[in-house]
Amino acid sequence: MNVSVIQDFLLQMGLALVYYAVLITVMRLAGKRLAGQTTTFDLVILITISVVLQTTALREGVLNALIFIATVFGAHQLLAAICARSTRIRHLVRSCPRPLIQNARVDYKALASEGLSYDELLAGLRKLGYPSQEGIKSATLEETGQISVIPLEREEPARSK
């Protein structure tokens, strides 16, 4: 292998790493909504950004395509392993869980900062079998973008002996 081939190989690896870093940054800036509450419009935007970035980062040739794919896949596996071991890095990449409902009261500021509407919150609750925020002790937008719910505990009626 001559020096030129190795330089081309390293250049394609570098471009693939830049591509992956930009995608991670765009997804982080877009927020958790993009991960879990994705609308068709959100998906179209993400795909468009990915295609534009890819066309600038992927050089011609099958070998470059293989290097690109292997580098992005390897970077993703490495980042996933790091996130599994480090809460600080995971929160930097994915953000932190965010309470949206506490004791049946919606936190509209949290909704706004996460880029969610009240209707989108209700849609997420309905997916989990809750028609409204009533009866919910806590609903949290997890770092994965999914909503998790803890229902209010109901008092059990006294049983007669």
Q: What is the pLDDT of residues 66-114, one digit of tens each?
A: 999 999 999 999 999 999 999 999 888 888 899 999 999 999 999 998 8
State the pLDDT at residue 154.
64
Q: Assess contact for 93 and 83: CB atoms under 8 A.
A: yes
pLDDT at 142 over 70: yes
Q: Is residue 61 situated within a structural domain?
A: yes
State the pLDDT at residue 118.
92
Q: Is residue 82 situated within a structural domain?
A: yes
Q: Which residue, of 78, 94, 110, is where some domain finishes?
A: 94
Q: Read off the pLDDT band of 153 (50, 70, 90).
A: confident
Does 89 lie in the same domain as 53?
yes
pLDDT at 36 over 80: no
Does 54 lie in the same domain as 35?
yes
Does 141 lie in the same domain as 89?
no
Q: Cα 86 to the chain's mean position, in Å?
A: 17
Q: Is residue 52 situated within a structural domain?
A: yes
Number of domains in the chain: 2
Q: Is residue 138 situated within a structural domain?
A: yes
Does 104 lie in the same domain as 83?
no
Q: Cα 161 to the chain's mean position, in Å?
A: 52
| Summary count for the chain: helices (H), strands (E) | 7, 4
Q: Assess contact for 5 and 116: CB atoms under 8 A.
A: no
Q: Read off the pLDDT band of 34 (50, 70, 90).
A: low
C-alpha to C-alpha distance for 97 and 91, rounded to whole angstroms: 9
For residues 23 and 76, the model is more confident at: 76
Quickly list H helices, 37-141: 40-57, 62-85, 87-94, 108-114, 118-127
Cross-sheet strand order for the sheet of 105-106? 105-106, 98-102, 136-141, 147-151
Does 115 lie in the same domain as 48?
no
- Domain of residue 143: give its range: 98-151
Does 53 lie in the same domain as 108?
no
